[in-house]
Amino acid sequence: MKRIAILGSTGSIGQSALDVVARHSDRFKVVGLTAHANVELLLKQVEEFGPEAVAVTNGGVAAELKRKLDIPVHEGQEGICEVASNKDADFVLSAIVGSAGLLPTLAAVRAGKTIGLANKETLVAAGDIVIEEAQKSGAKILPVDSEHSAVFQCLEGQDRKFLRKVILTASGGPFMGKSAEELRDVTPADALNHPSWSMGKKITVDSATLMNKGLEVIEAHHLFGVSPENIEVLIHPQSIIHSMVEFTDGSCIAQLSVPDMRGAIAYALSYPERLEGVIEALDLPSLGQLTFQKPDIKSFPCLSYAYDALSEGGTMPAVLNAANEIAVEGFLAGRIRFNDIPAIIKKVMNSHEKTAMSGIETVLKADAWAREHAMKLVESIEAST
Ligand code: NAD
Ligand code: MG
């Protein structure tokens, strides 16, 4: 029986993971759940899965849960870190959104857990530190992001010295083919209307700007030790090939499936085994064709900003990530326009004096600085319109 803690259990990934767990209750036992604000759903999950402890970020919510539950209720970020590092869990699914997932994921890493990593922002902001800490503690990081799960699956049984290139696929999002001018007036509702994946709001907007793919380039660099020039991005609107690897002899291996995150989640949960009938099988004849094209950096510059941040190194990726989080929040709240997202990120990056990574404190400081700076830009754009 694998004992599982889910950080961010009320989110899109968290709920999909619990769906997999519910179908395989002979193999998995939920020992910890954490959430931010959705108390109602968390209570339902507690009732169904019977965890041994929960944690929530908000103190008021924690007080309410303490009255209703007879298991330990931890609170605040420390409380989430407590669930992440608790000795009762063998496997921690890191599925909090944004850099709020960083310290809890690091706590699980330091505790030497096996981690199913959906929270890509952790590796973007602090990849070098997280990978180094995992090497020290013996923690194993299994990718849950579908592209990285695909690359991981393609590399199974292969000698990494023959790996030449990682090719990440991207759906292109709802605005593929639009010019920057045509993107001027798109609304949050337009951006949230993703053509192939159903996900949380932040990552859905990131998919629309192509920042999601930028974050994934950085994530791939840390997970697979591939340099930025050997990570290519291809637009593949059908979202059937989740990513590919190319070897030194010119041969490529790709991983295919219907776009359903339960596939990648279940693979991490059961690795190195595979579960029975997790997702629908592919019906290639009815799909007809799979197509590919190069990304349009002019309309979607966020992707190139991520490459820039990765080659700058140090605190720059953390700054890119934090500025993006604030800009996306501003866009979702109707305070700025879609094209202001890349503009804000670029400005924040340009004003940042990169520092070398000397520990997690450096990352947290850069993250806080970038948030504040980006927030001021959101306010000034809002005030001028
Ligand atoms: P979501 O918004 O649906 O859920 C986020 C979860 O995090 C919720 O449980 C919420 O309670 C919790 N949370 C939010 N703010 C928090 C805070 N400040 N402190 C503690 N917990 C907090 O997001 P999602 O779509 O499930 O994505 C989660 C992560 O997985 C993201 O990093 C995303 O990039 C990654 N990911 C998601 C998908 C997908 O299909 N949804 C695919 C690949 C990767
Ligand atoms: Mg992905």
pLDDT, tens digit, 9 for 90 and up, residues 244-257:
999 999 999 999 99
> Atom 23, ligand 1: which residue's CA is nearest?
200
Please say if the pLDDT value at position 120 is more than 90: yes
216 CA distance to ligand 2 middle (Å): 7
Residue 259, ligand 1, Cβ within 6 A = no
Predicted local confidence at residue 370, as pLDDT: 98
Could you tell me the pLDDT band of residue 152, with boundaries at 50, 70 and 90?
Answer: very high
100 lines ligand 1 (CB under 6 A): yes
Under 8 Å between Cβ of 211 and 299: no
Q: Is 119 in the pocket of ligand 1 (CB under 6 A)?
A: yes
DSSP three-state, residue 358: coil
What is the reported pLDDT for 260? Answer: 97
Q: Residues 29, 77, 119, CA angle at the centre, nearest 5°?
A: 65
**pLDDT tens-digit series, residues 281-290:** 999 999 999 9
Q: Is 200 in the pocket of ligand 1 (CB under 6 A)?
A: yes
pLDDT reported for residue 372: 98
| For residues 317-328, average pLDDT | 98
Report pLDDT for 337. Answer: 98
**For the CA of 13, the nearest atom of ligand 1:** 26
Two tokens, residue 21: 């767990």
Task: Check pLDDT > 90 for residue 164.
Answer: yes
* pLDDT at 326 exceeding the cut of 90: yes
Q: Which domains does the chain have, with CATH numbers?
A: 2-144 (3.40.50.720), 149-259+285-384 (1.10.1740.10)
Mean pLDDT of 160-164: 97
Give the separation between CA 330 and CA 325, rounded to whole angstroms: 9
Separation of CA 121 and ligand 1 centre (Å): 10
Res. 354: pLDDT tops 90: no
pLDDT digits (tens, 9 = 90+) for 293-307: 999 999 999 999 999
Q: Before 272, cis peptide (omega within 30)?
A: yes
Q: Does residue 203 line the site of ligand 1, with CB under 6 A?
A: yes
Under the banding of pLDDT at 50, 70 and 90, the label for residue 274 is very high
The separation between CA 375 and the C-alpha centre of its own chain, rounded to angstroms, equals 22
Report CA 260 to chain centroid distance, whole Å. 15
Confidence of residue 356 (pLDDT cuts 50, 70, 90): confident
pLDDT band at 334 (very low <50, low <70, confident <90, very high): very high
- The pLDDT of residue 358 is 87
**Measured distance CA(317)–CA(145) in Å, rounded:** 18
The rounded Å distance from CA 100 to ligand 1 centre is 9
| pLDDT of 169 higher than 90 | yes
Confidence of residue 59 (pLDDT cuts 50, 70, 90): confident
Give the pLDDT confidence score for residue 194 in this predicted structure. Answer: 85
Q: How confident is the model at residue 163 (pLDDT cuts 50, 70, 90)?
A: very high
How many residues can be counted in the chain?
385
Cβ 57 under 6 angstroms from ligand 1: yes
Q: What is the pLDDT of residues 185-234, one digit of tens each?
A: 999 999 999 888 889 999 999 999 999 999 999 999 999 999 999 999 99
| Beta carbon of 118 within 6 Å of any ligand 1 atom | yes
Instruction: Examine the pLDDT at 162 and tell me if it is beyond 90.
Output: yes
- SS3 of residue 324 by DSSP: helix
Residue-wise pLDDT tens digits, 125-146: 999 999 999 999 999 999 999 9
| Closest alpha carbon to 305 in 196, 171, 194, 214 | 214
DSSP 214-283: HHHHHHHHHHH---GGGEEEEE-TT--EEEEEEETTS-EEEEE--S-THHHHHHHHHTTS--SS-SPPP-
Confidence of residue 385 (pLDDT cuts 50, 70, 90): confident
Taking the centre of ligand 1 as the mean of its atom positions, its distance from the CA of residue 380, in whole angstroms, is: 28
Helix axes 316-332, 340-351, angle to 10 degrees: 150
pLDDT band at 357 (very low <50, low <70, confident <90, very high): confident
Average model confidence (pLDDT) for the chain?
Answer: 97
Using CA positions, which residue lies closest to atom 40 of ligand 1?
A: 199
Please tell me the predicted confidence (pLDDT) of residue 175. Answer: 97
Question: Which residue out of 199, 209, 215, 261 has the highest number of ligand 1 atoms within 8 Å of its CB and is therefore the one to mutate?
Answer: 199
